[in-house]
Amino acid sequence: MLRLYNTLTRRVELFIPREQGVVRLYTCGPTVYRYVHLGNLRSFLMADWARRALEWSGYTVTHIKNITDVGHMRQELVDRGEDKLIAAALAEGKTPAEIAAFYTESFLQDERRLNILPAQHYPRATDHVQQMIALIGVLEQRGYAYRSGQNVYFDVRRFSDYGRLSGNRLEDLLEGVRAEADSAKRNPEDFALWKGAEPGRAMKWESPWGPGFPGWHIECSAMAMHYLGQQIDLHTGGVDNIFPHHEDEIAQSEAATGVPFARCWLHGAFLLADGLKMAKSQGNVYLLQDVIERGFDPLSFRLLCAMTHYRTPLNFTLGALRGAQHALDRLRRKLLEAEDAGGDADQELVEPWRQRFSAALADDLGLPQAVATVWAMLEAGLPPATICELLVDWDRVLGLRLAEWCAEARTIPLEVQALAAERSRLRQARDYAAADVIRDELIARGYEVLDHGSQTELRRRGNTLPSNRPLISSPRDVPSLLDQPSRVRWSVLLFGQDNADEMVRAVSALLLRPPAGGIEILAVDAGSGEAAVESLATLAALYPEVRAFYLDHNPGEGAGRNVGLRQALGEYILWLGNHIEPLGDIWGPLEAALSNPAVGAAGGWGLRTADLHHFEPGDGPEVDALEAYVLAFRRSVIREVGLLDEGFRFYRNLDLDFSMRLRARGYTLVVVPGLPVRVHEHRLWQRTPEPERERLSRHNFRRFLRRWRDRHDLLISSSGVHEHHHGRHDHDHHHHEEG
C-alpha cells in the first residue's frame, strides 16, 4: 500500500485506485519545440518512480504520456496568436511536424538514457484534435463553454469547484488579471478551449467554430479520457502545472463528465540551477546531452534525483552530479563484487530488508530513504548472494541498470583484449614505455588496469570525470573569508566567460601601477573553453598577486562576483568592469573618497534618478547609484549589506541593486571624476543579441524594481536630474522603461 501526497487534498493519503490492482496513470508530457532539459526530466523521473513503485508493489499500470506538438500555448501566447512550435519551425526553416518529430525523438532518447520506462502510449496532441473538438462540443452543450468571435472559452464561473486544486479562489484571480482583461471573455479568468486561426496560420483544423486550433489545456483532458476513461487514478506533472493547467483540466473534464477526474494529483518540485528554477527563459538550462559530454553517465542524474525527495526543490550543480556519479560507481562495484562471490541468498535475511525498502517507498515515494536503505544494507555485512538479490530486486524501482552494467563490465570487447595482450607482451619484453602507452589507452577507454604479477586484470571502471583543475560549482564551494582581517590594501574582482584577453589586459594594467599597500586580483572564470582557461591559469602561475577560480559553468554575474567577494582579503575592494583598463593611479583618489566613513562606495560613473525608473548620468559628487565599471568600497561593508544578489545572472542593474543596498544602510555614494582609465568596447553587451539583452535587462530591472520601487526615501533630492538631459557616456547606459 502506497501513501502519496495528493495536491487535491493537501495531505499524504493512502493511494487506492478505482479498480483493484490496476492503476491508470497520466503524465503531462513534453512540449516538443525544443529539447527537454534536466528540470523536465526530473518531473518525468518522479512519474517513473511512482510507476515503478506501483509495479513493484504488484499493480498493473497503464501509463499515458502526451506529446504536446501543437504548441504549449501559455495563455498569453495564445492571446497574441503566437504558437511557439510554429515560431520555432519558421526560425529553423522546417515544418512544425518536422520540428516536433525531431524533438520527440530526442526526448524519447533522453528517457531511454535515463532508463525511464516507456509509457504504453505517447499520444500526440495533433492526432487527437477530433477528440478535443468533441469534448469542447459537450462543454458547449452543457453550457460551460461559450463562443466569442472565432474563439470558444470555458466559463469558470459555471464550475463551482474551480480553484480547488491550486487554492486559487476566483476573487484572488480577479485581482491578478484585472489589468489584462480581454474583452473577448466574459470573465478575465476564463480560458480558451478553441482559438480561431489567424490568416496565414499553418497549424489549423476545421471545427464547428471555424478553422482554428485547440487551447492549451484541452489536449490533456481529451487524451487522458480517450486512453484511460473518464476517471483516472494518478495524474502527474511539475508544480508549475498545478495552475492553471491542471486546474483547467479538472474544470473541463468534470464539467463534461460530471464525475471526479483524477483521484490523486502528484506534483514534482522544481529542479533549480544557481538557485533559480531551471528554465529556458532563465538561461540556466542543462540538457542531458550536456552532462554526457562532460563525461557523466546519464544515470548519475537519475541517482542524484533519487537522493532528494520529489517534493523538495533540488539545486542542480555539476559538483553534486560528480558526487552522484561516484555513488553510482560504488553501487556498481558492490554488485560486481557480490556477484563474483556467488552462493545462494538467505531469504530470512532478505525479508526484513525488503520490508524496510518497501516502507520507504510507501511513505510518499521516499526515494531518499530507499537509497539510504541501500547503503545501510551494503554496510550490514550480509552474505554476497543476499546483497545481490536485494540490489537487483530494488533496482527494479531505482532503475539504475546495475545488473546490466555488471554484465557489460564482464564482457571485454575483442579489440580491448587485444590491446591488453599486446601490453603484456611489451611488459615481458621490458618495454615499459610502450606498455604504459597502451595502459593509458586502456584507461582512456574506461578500464582499470590491475597487474597481479605477470597477470593483468581489466575492469570496467565507472565513468571518469576530467578533473585536471579544481572546479567549483557555486560561490559556496569556496570558504568565505569575510570575517578575516585584511591582508592587503586592495582586492580587485574580475569575472567573465571566454574573456581571458580582457582579464589579461586588466591584470597587466593593474600590476603595472599597483597600489601602495599591495594588491590581489581575484579572477573568476565562468566555465570558459579550455584555451581561455589555459591563459588564465598561465596568468595565475606567473603572478602571485593573481588568484584564479574556475567555475564549472556560468552561474551568472552575481554568483560569479560573489566567488571573489567571499575570498577577498583586501581592505578595499575594486569591482572592475571587463571593458575597463586602468591607465594611472586610480587608488589614491578612490582611497581618499572612501576615507570618509559616511561614504559607502566610490566610483568612476554615477547615476541619478528621481523615480527609480529612469537613471541619468550624474556628476555628483553625491549620486543615487554607481556603475560597476569602476566601483570601490571597503570590504567591511559587505558584512553589513551582504553578498551580491545571485538572481542577477546578467550583469545589468546588479550595480543598481548593490548601490541601493548601501543607500539603505545610510551610506552615501560618490563619484570620483576623471579617473585615469580607458573604456573599451563592452564585449558582453556587444555580443549579446539585441532582443536577448533587452529581455535580460528587463528581467533584471524588474527584479530591481520589485525590491526598491517603494524606496524613494533613499534617493537624494531629485533636483539634479534634468528633464532633457540625455547625455550618456557610452552604449551601456542605464536608462530603463518599465518592462
Q: Which region, judged by CB under 6 A, interacts with ligand AMP, from 233-241, 324-332, 380-388, 579-587?
A: 233-241
The vertex-136 CA angle with 133 and 141, nearest 5°, equals 125
Taking the least distance from each CB to ligand AMP, the nearer of 214 and 462 is 214
Tell me which of Zn ion, ligand AMP, none is bound by residue 278, counting a contact when its beta carbon lies within the kind-specific cut-off of 5 to 8 angstroms. Answer: ligand AMP
Q: Pick from 72, 246, 302, 699: which binds ligand AMP (CB under 6 A)?
A: 72
Q: Using alpha carbons, select from 150, 244, 238, 239 the residue that is nearest to residue 188.
A: 244
Residues in the chain: 739
Tell me which of ligand AMP, Zn ion, none is bound by residue 620, counting a contact when its beta carbon lies within the kind-specific cut-off of 5 to 8 angstroms. Answer: none
Q: Pick from 164, 277, 459, 505: which binds ligand AMP (CB under 6 A)?
A: 277
Question: Residue 702: which residues within 8 A CB-CB, separation 6 or more?
Answer: 739
Taking the least distance from each CB to ligand AMP, the nearer of 196 and 238 is 238
Task: Give the up-direction half-sphere exposure of residue 577: CA atoms within 13 A in the CB hemisphere.
Answer: 26
Q: Which region, judged by CB under 6 A, interacts with ligand AMP, from 166-174, 277-285, 393-401, 643-651?
A: 277-285
Cell of 700: 533584471
Taking the least distance from each CB to ligand AMP, the nearer of 271 and 573 is 271
Return d(Cα 358, Cα 352) in angstroms, integer.
Answer: 10
How near is the Cβ of 153 to Zn ion at its closest, in Å? 19
Taking the least distance from each CB to Zn ion, the nearer of 28 and 271 is 28
Question: Residue 295: which residues within 8 A CB-CB, separation 6 or more?
Answer: 463, 464, 465, 466
Q: Which region, judged by CB under 6 A, interacts with ligand AMP, from 34-42, 297-305, 503-511, 651-659?
A: 34-42
How near is the Cβ of 121 to Zn ion at its closest, in Å? 14
The vertex-346 CA angle with 343 and 349, nearest 5°, equals 140
Q: Pick from 2, 8, 28, 643: which binds Zn ion (CB under 5 A)?
A: 28
Other CB atoms within a 10 A radius of the CB of residue 723 amount to 7
Tell me which of ligand AMP, Zn ion, none is bound by residue 72, counting a contact when its beta carbon lies within the kind-specific cut-off of 5 to 8 angstroms. Answer: ligand AMP
Say whether residue 270 binds ligand AMP (CB under 6 A). yes
Tell me which of ligand AMP, Zn ion, none is bound by residue 244, counting a contact when its beta carbon lies within the kind-specific cut-off of 5 to 8 angstroms. Answer: none
Question: Residue 629: which residues within 8 A CB-CB, separation 6 or more?
Answer: 576, 577, 579, 580, 603, 604, 605, 677, 679
Return d(Cα 370, Cα 310) in angstroms, integer.
Answer: 13
Q: Which region, judged by CB under 6 A, interacts with ligand AMP, from 7-15, 36-44, 297-305, 604-612?
A: 36-44
Taking the least distance from each CB to Zn ion, the nearer of 220 and 716 is 220
x/- letters, 279..318, toward ligand AMP (CB under 6 A): x---------------------------------------
x/- letters, 48..77, toward Zn ion (CB under 5 A): ------------------------------
Return d(Cα 594, Cα 12) in angstroms, integer.
Answer: 57
Say whether residue 643 binds Zn ion (CB under 5 A). no
- How many helices (H) and strands (E) the chain has is answered by 25, 29
CB-based burial of residue 732 (10 Å sphere; 0-12 exposed, 13-18 middle, 19+ buried)?
buried
Q: Using alpha carbons, select from 726, 650, 601 the residue that is nearest to residue 276.
A: 650
How near is the Cβ of 5 to Zn ion at its closest, in Å? 19
Return d(Cα 588, Cα 268) in angstroms, integer.
Answer: 55
For strands 232-238 and 262-268, give the pairing: parallel
Q: Pick from 89, 125, 266, 271: which binds ligand AMP (CB under 6 A)?
A: 271
* Contact in structure between 493 and 565 (CB atoms under 8 Å): yes
Say whether residue 28 binds ligand AMP (CB under 6 A). yes
Taking the least distance from each CB to ligand AMP, the nearer of 72 and 634 is 72
Q: Using alpha carbons, select from 262, 258, 261 the residue that is nearest to residue 138.
A: 258
Rounded to 5 degrees, what are φ and ψ at 618?
-125, 135
Q: SS3 of 252, please?
A: helix
Say whether residue 30 binds ligand AMP (CB under 6 A). yes
How near is the Cβ of 272 to ligand AMP at its closest, in Å? 7
Q: Which region, judged by CB under 6 A, interacts with ligand AMP, from 273-281, 345-353, 465-473, 690-698?
A: 273-281
Say whether residue 123 binds ligand AMP (CB under 6 A). no
Tell me which of ligand AMP, Zn ion, none is bound by residue 40, counting a contact when its beta carbon lies within the kind-specific cut-off of 5 to 8 angstroms. Answer: ligand AMP
Q: Which region, judged by CB under 6 A, interacts with ligand AMP, from 35-43, 98-106, 563-571, 663-671?
A: 35-43
Tell me which of Zn ion, ligand AMP, none is bound by residue 270, counting a contact when its beta carbon lies within the kind-specific cut-off of 5 to 8 angstroms. Answer: ligand AMP
Say whether residue 220 binds Zn ion (CB under 5 A). yes
Return d(Cα 432, Cα 284) in angstroms, integer.
Answer: 47
Return d(Cα 550, Cα 560) in angstroms, integer.
Answer: 10
Say whether residue 106 binds ligand AMP (CB under 6 A). no
Q: CA-based diameter of the chain, in Å?
A: 90
How near is the Cβ of 696 to Zn ion at its closest, in Å? 29
Return d(Cα 332, Cα 327) in angstroms, integer.
Answer: 9
x/- letters, 493..522, toward ligand AMP (CB under 6 A): ------------------------------
Taking the least distance from each CB to ligand AMP, the nearer of 237 and 603 is 237
Return d(Cα 682, Cα 343) in angstroms, integer.
Answer: 68
Tell me which of Zn ion, ligand AMP, none is bound by residue 220, counting a contact when its beta carbon lies within the kind-specific cut-off of 5 to 8 angstroms. Answer: Zn ion
How near is the Cβ of 237 to ligand AMP at its closest, in Å? 4
Strand partners, 5: 12
Q: At what angle do helices 84-92 and 96-113 cross, to 10 degrees?
A: 100
Q: Pick from 7, 31, 166, 499: which binds ligand AMP (CB under 6 A)?
A: 31
* Contact in structure between 601 and 667 (CB atoms under 8 Å): yes
Say whether residue 114 binds ligand AMP (CB under 6 A). no
Strand partners, 602: 632, 670
Tell me which of ligand AMP, Zn ion, none is bound by residue 246, counting a contact when its beta carbon lies within the kind-specific cut-off of 5 to 8 angstroms. Answer: none
Q: Pick from 237, 577, 589, 618: which binds ligand AMP (CB under 6 A)?
A: 237
Output Rg (C-alpha) for the chain, integer angstroms: 30
Displacement of CA 578 from its chain's centroid (Å): 26
Tell me which of Zn ion, ligand AMP, none is bound by residue 43, counting a contact when its beta carbon lies within the kind-specific cut-off of 5 to 8 angstroms. Answer: ligand AMP
Say whether residue 278 binds ligand AMP (CB under 6 A). yes
Q: Which region, judged by CB under 6 A, interacts with ligand AMP, from 148-156, 274-282, 565-573, 593-601?
A: 274-282
What is each CA distance from 223 to 67, 123, 347, 697, in whole angstroms?
Answer: 10, 7, 44, 40
Binding site for Zn ion (CB under 5 A): 28, 220
Binding site for ligand AMP (CB under 6 A): 28, 30-31, 39-40, 42-43, 72, 237-238, 240-241, 268, 270-271, 277-279
